[in-house]
Structures are given as C-alpha cells and as structure tokens.
A = this chain, B = another copy of it.
Amino acid sequence: MTKRQENALKTRQKLIDTTEDLLKTNGFNALCVEDITKSAGVAKGTFYVYFEHKEDIVAEICRGYFKQIEYKLNEMTDSDLIEKLSVYFDNFMKAVELYGINICREWIRSTIDPKTAPDYTDMSKWQYDINMLTNILNNAIENRELKKDTPVELLTHLIISQLYGMMTCWCMSDGVFEPKDWTKKFADFQLTAILSEYLI
C-alpha cells in the first residue's frame, strides 16, 4: 500500500470514528457534516470524497456492528440450534447496549429509511437477516435438531420481528430496561415456546 492510499484510509477511518462518537452523545438529529469534519480535522469537502451523503456514513457504522455479530456467529458452526440463536440474540443486544440507545435508534432509522436501506449490503438488510436465520434453521434440520416439516419461513419472520421489536421498544421506552435482560427473557421463554413443537 502506498503512503497516499494509507493516508486516505486513515482519513476515512477518522471520519467514521468521529461520527460514531458524535452519534453516541448527541444522536442523529444533532449530527451535522460540518461538526464531523471539524472534529476530524479535515475540510467539509473531504467528507463527500468518502461518503455519498450524511446517511451513508451512519449506514457504514451500523454495517460494522452487524459484521461483528456475523463473525462471532460464523465461529461457532458446530453449536446446537438454541445455543446459536441465543448467541445471535445475545450479541445483537449486547452490541445495542454497548453502543448506546442513539446508535440503536440510528440502526432502526437507517434500516427503515429507503434512502439508505436498499444498498445496506450487496442485498437489502432485510434479505440479509432472513438468509442468515434461514441458514441456521436449515442447518438444524440437516443435523436432525429440528423436524423436517418445520415452517422455516414463518419461524424466521417471527424471530427477526421479535429481535427488531425488542430494539424498537427499547428506543421507544428511552432505555428503561436492560436489553440483555430482555434477550434472556426471550431466549428462556418465547424461543422455547416457538420452537418446542419442532424440536426433535
């Protein structure tokens, strides 16, 4: 890598880090590009070299969190279904709690905003989540943890909607409860209720 490329990468990363800090403390409403670039020590124009628009950098940040969860999940290929799903939920909510409520708000906002959602990854965020969970469930069927006639699509939808529901509720309630506790509630109670009929 040449020095030029290295510097460019550093500048880009500096912008991302700065934005993350500002988002955590002030939320998306108060986020403005001039603040970002001033804090990052670059000119406003530089921002638009690396990101198409303001929403773009936020989507990038959320994408980063998501990749981390995905990575952890890929590391545990031989665990059983319930364990995998627990990890999935757990990491999701841990991330959400760690990064704070403003980031969580932004996660949801950017997910439902047509301006950022479509190119969230190579496919839509929705399709990505669906695929991820479908794989987990199909794997469980292959491993004879789940019955063959398990309604994978239905379960996938229910689980994902529960996950996003929890996040949305957390933001709505302005953070009155601990997301981790809720995940535990869900894993212990509802996940079992949903799956029990189909577990072998």
Contacts and interface: CB of A to CB of B under 8 A. Distances in A.
Contacts of A109: 109, 112-113
A89 to B, nearest CB: 12
Contact of A161 (B108, B114, B168, B197): B168
Q: Which 7 A-B pairs have the closest CB atoms?
A: A165-B165, A161-B165, A112-B171, A126-B172, A126-B173, A164-B168, A193-B193
Contact of A160 (B112, B126, B165, B185): B165
Contact of A169 (B29, B126, B169): B126
A115 interface: yes
Interface residues of A, number: 43
A129 to B, nearest CB: 8
Contacts of A158: 162, 185-186, 189-190
B185 A190 contact: no
A168 B168 contact: yes
Contacts of A185: 154, 157-158
A189 B105 contact: no
14 contacts: A27-B114, A105-B112, A108-B112, A109-B112, A112-B168, A112-B172, A124-B173, A160-B169, A161-B165, A161-B166, A162-B162, A164-B164, A164-B169, A165-B165
